[in-house]
Amino acid sequence: MKISKISILMMLILFFSVTSNAENPKPEPGKKLVPLALPAPLDPAGKKSLGLKNTKVTFSISDLKYELVLMEVIGVYCPQCFKQAPDFNKLHERLNKGKMKGRVAMFALAAGGTDPEIEQLVQSRQYIFPVVSDMEFKAHKLLGEPKTPFTIICRPDGTILYTHLGIITDIDAFYAEIKEFLGK
C-alpha cells in the first residue's frame, strides 16, 4: 500500500512540473516571441546602445529599430554565463564594427538580477553590452523559465530565428550565422 501512495505522489509531482510551463513554452525558431515589457538599462550608455531615449523606462523588442535582436538570458551568479561573457563581449564588439554596425541590438536579460547586481556587472566590465533586470522573473517566466545562459535571436516583430541553451562554444560560427540571418 505504501508503494502506491508514493507512486501517486510522484505522478502528481511529475504532472505539475510538466504542466507548469505549458502556457509559456520556451521560445523556438519559427515561432513568435511572447511580448515582453523590459526595464530599460539604467546606464545611459546601455540605453544609447539599444537606441532608446534617455527618458525611456521600459521597452519592448519591437522598440528596437534594428534588423535583429540578440538577447542572452543570464543569471547574475551563473558560472556558465560568466564563462561565456568574454566571448559575447568580443561578439558585441564585432557586431558594432563596419557593415554590421547598427544592424543587431544585443543585450542580456538578468533573470532575478537586482539593480545593484547589474550595476556591478556593468561597472566591472563583466558585460560590455547592455544588461537589463528581471528582478521578479516576469520575463523569464514568460520565456518558459529557461536555464541560463539561453540565447535568442529574433526580428523586432518577434519572429524567432535562433535559440540555444548553454554556452556557445564557436563564436566565429555563431557570428557567421548572424550574418546569414541579416542576409535573409
Q: Over the stretch 3-35, which tens digit does the pLDDT of each residue have?
A: 566 555 455 454 444 444 457 889 999 999 999
Number of domains in the chain: 1
Region 51-78 average pLDDT: 95
Does 43 fall in a domain?
A: yes
Q: Over the stretch 130-165, which tens digit does the pLDDT of each residue have?
A: 999 999 999 999 999 999 999 999 999 999 999 999
Region 159-176 average pLDDT: 98
Instruction: Give the separation between CA 9 and CA 123, rounded to whole angstroms.
Output: 48
Does 7 fall in a domain?
A: no
Give the pLDDT confidence score for residue 3 in this predicted structure: 56
Give the pLDDT confidence score for residue 149 in this predicted structure: 98
Does 11 fall in a domain?
A: no
Q: Over the stretch 72-107, which tens digit does the pLDDT of each residue have?
A: 999 999 999 999 999 999 999 999 999 999 999 999
pTM score, whole prediction? 0.86
Range of the domain at 62: 32-183
Does 3 fall in a domain?
A: no
Give the pLDDT confidence score for residue 19 in this predicted structure: 42
Does 15 fall in a domain?
A: no
Region 32-48 average pLDDT: 94
Burial 63-93 (b: 16+ CB within 10 A, else e): bbebbbbbbbbbbbebeebbebbebbeebbe
Does 69 fall in a domain?
A: yes
Instruction: Give the separation between CA 43 and CA 77, rounded to whole angstroms.
Output: 21
CATH number at residue 94: 3.40.30.10
Does 5 fall in a domain?
A: no
Does 147 fall in a domain?
A: yes
pLDDT beyond 50 at 180: yes
